Amino acid sequence: MKIRILTLGIILALVVTMVVPTTVLALDPNQADQSASTFTGAIQIVSKVSDDAVSSIIFPPGAPTGVVNWPLNNVDGPSDLQQLSATASEPVVRLKNSTAGNLIAWLQITDWTNDVVVAEDYELVDTGTVNVNVVDDVLSADGKSATVRTYGTIPAGGYKDLYLEVVLGAVSGVTGSSTLTVLGEAP
């Protein structure tokens, strides 16, 4: 009887020793950073409130396999995250058409490094839209490079609000990056 209790105690100690590090490791956050650029000056990636050019979009750390839908940009900073809401949403950035004609935006991303992101979605809506609470237009279904044609047009001299969301990979404690490029096409 004493041997069975002792054996059970040793087995439980080994199980606890093996499970705890795995659980802690799984809670380590992942972080994804995305560079932002335009292929030509036709469509610019700008701040939420000014025409200052945005060069980086940062997705704060999140749990492995989790959704991160509150990115920020390098101009507006960490106090002004993207907000999803049925009544008071705010984009991560705006796209500005600086030409004299209407343009259709194409979004292009490169592979996410370290498989930190397994999917990325977007929403491109009229500036001032305040009821964006879901980001579900697929930009990349697998975190790999992709190019998509967006819906609608950006009017001459006008803006569209861009919302982004990523699904993080299962590997914990990694960071990765990708480049988002915006291209313009005459309708």
Share of the chain above pLDDT 90, in %: 69
Share of the chain above pLDDT 70, in %: 81
pLDDT of residue 37: 61
pLDDT of residue 20: 25
DSSP per residue, 41-76 = SSEEEE-SSS-PBP-EEEEEEE-TT-EE---EETTT
Mean pLDDT of all residues in the chain? 83
This prediction has a pTM of 0.82
Domains in the chain with CATH codes: 29-185 (2.60.120)
Model confidence at 10: pLDDT above 70? no
